[in-house]
């Protein structure tokens, strides 16, 4: 069996870090030293049977350059918020200049929104409608709707191959038990947590904070967890103070992990 590897090519929230208007301590550190610098959330997966990306935000061009790859053929989209689809026009242009087709995979309701926003994409990109259960490369891919708070809904993805399973859920909050069912016992859970502890009223929020996420993890018992989709509230210099359990970590920009047991 070939080895699949996942690279976090972006771990930021919708505004990224630094936020353009902000001079808080974390944003200033991100500008100067860069340990807190975060681009829009996205992952790159390389395997023997192919490579793909999840989400394509407005930092896509930068993320491709940093990865050092010149073309991506397959992109999966979780939901149609700008921080997850803003790079699609650039991808379509790249496909046009290379005279190659891109292949985009998402649920049909998400495809409808993308088509309305960027009606010219389909000249260069083939849209594939994901069913709830979908064969994708060597993976069994399941997608389901998850609550995204005041921002509506998103989709979470679960990938299974042989005995290995992982979930990508970057934008969610307050999930019901059925919405969390497929988190149960996975080898790897990648979960969005915009804040360590967000004080804003619940009805104004759209993504879990770490305090809430730890409770989700306690119940779902995944083997390994990485938090992503982090805002300028999260300061990697304060990591010891967050007292995360050993199997729970903050994702890092350009961190690569193996998608296998152990």
What residues line the site for Zn ion (CB under 5 A)? 14, 81, 83, 171
Q: Indicate the residue among 6 and 80 with the shorter CB distance to Zn ion.
A: 80
Sheet of strand 164-169: strand arrangement: 133-136, 139-147, 153-161, 164-169, 188-192, 224-228, 248-250
**Residue 76 Cβ vs Zn ion, minimum distance, rounded to whole Å:** 14
Cα–Cα distance, 24 to 52 (Å, whole number): 35
Nearest to 113 by CA among 155, 66, 157: 155
For Zn ion, the closer CB: 160 or 171: 171
Residue 85: closest CA among 67, 69, 105, 101: 105
Shortest spacing between CB 165 and Zn ion, in angstroms: 23
Q: Which CB atom, from 4 or from 196, has the smaller least distance to Zn ion?
A: 196
Least Å distance between CB 84 and Zn ion?
Answer: 6
**CB 244 → Zn ion: shortest distance, Å?**
22
Residue corresponding to tokens 């860069």: 34
CB of 50 vs Zn ion, minimal distance in Å:
25
47: nearest Cα among 18, 15, 5, 11 = 5
Q: Which is nearer to Zn ion, 81 or 158 (CB)?
A: 81
Helix H or strand E encompassing 116? helix 108-117
Q: Which is nearer to Zn ion, 39 or 124 (CB)?
A: 39
Least distance to Zn ion, CB of residue 117, Å: 14
Query: Nearest to Zn ion by Cβ — which residue?
Result: 81
DSSP state, residue 20: T
User: In this structure, which long-range contacts are made by residues 195-199, counting pairs with CB atoms below 8 Å and at least 24 apart in sequence?
Assistant: 195/230, 195/231, 195/233, 195/234, 196/233, 196/234, 196/238, 196/242, 198/233
Nearer to Zn ion, 83 or 187 (CB): 83
Token pair belonging to 174: 């307050």
Choice between 171 and 209, CB closer to Zn ion: 171
Min dist. Cβ of residue 190 to Zn ion (A): 13
Closest CA to 249 of 8, 59, 31: 8
């Amino acid at each position: 069996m070939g080895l699949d590897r996942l690279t976090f090519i972006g771990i930021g929230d919708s505004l990224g870090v630094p936020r353009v208007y902000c001079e808080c301590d974390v944003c200033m550190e991100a500008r100067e030293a860069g340990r807190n610098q975060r681009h829009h959330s996205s992952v790159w997966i390389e395997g023997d049977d192919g490579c793909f990306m999840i989400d394509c935000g407005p930092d896509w061009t930068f993320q491709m350059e940093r990865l050092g790859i010149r073309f991506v053929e397959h992109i999966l989209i979780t939901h149609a918020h700008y921080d997850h689809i803003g790079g699609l026009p650039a991808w379509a242009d790249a496909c046009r200049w290379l005279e190659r087709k891109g292949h985009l995979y998402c649920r049909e309701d998400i495809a409808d929104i993308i088509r309305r926003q960027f009606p010219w994409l389909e000249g260069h990109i083939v849209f594939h409608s994901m069913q709830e259960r979908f064969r994708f490369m060597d993976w069994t891919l399941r997608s389901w709707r998850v609550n995204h708070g005041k921002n509506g809904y998103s989709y979470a993805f679960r990938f299974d191959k042989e005995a290995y399973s992982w979930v990508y859920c970057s934008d969610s909050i307050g999930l019901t038990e059925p919405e969390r069912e497929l988190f149960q016992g996975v080898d790897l859970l990648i979960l969005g947590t915009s804040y360590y502890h967000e004080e804003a009223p619940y009805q104004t929020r759209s993504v879990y904070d770490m305090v809430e996420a730890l409770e989700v993890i306690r119940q779902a018992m995944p083997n390994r967890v990485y938090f992503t989709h982090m805002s300028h509230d999260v300061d990697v210099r304060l990591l010891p103070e967050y007292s995360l359990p050993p199997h729970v970590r903050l994702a890092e920009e350009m961190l690569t992990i193996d998608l296998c047991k152990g």
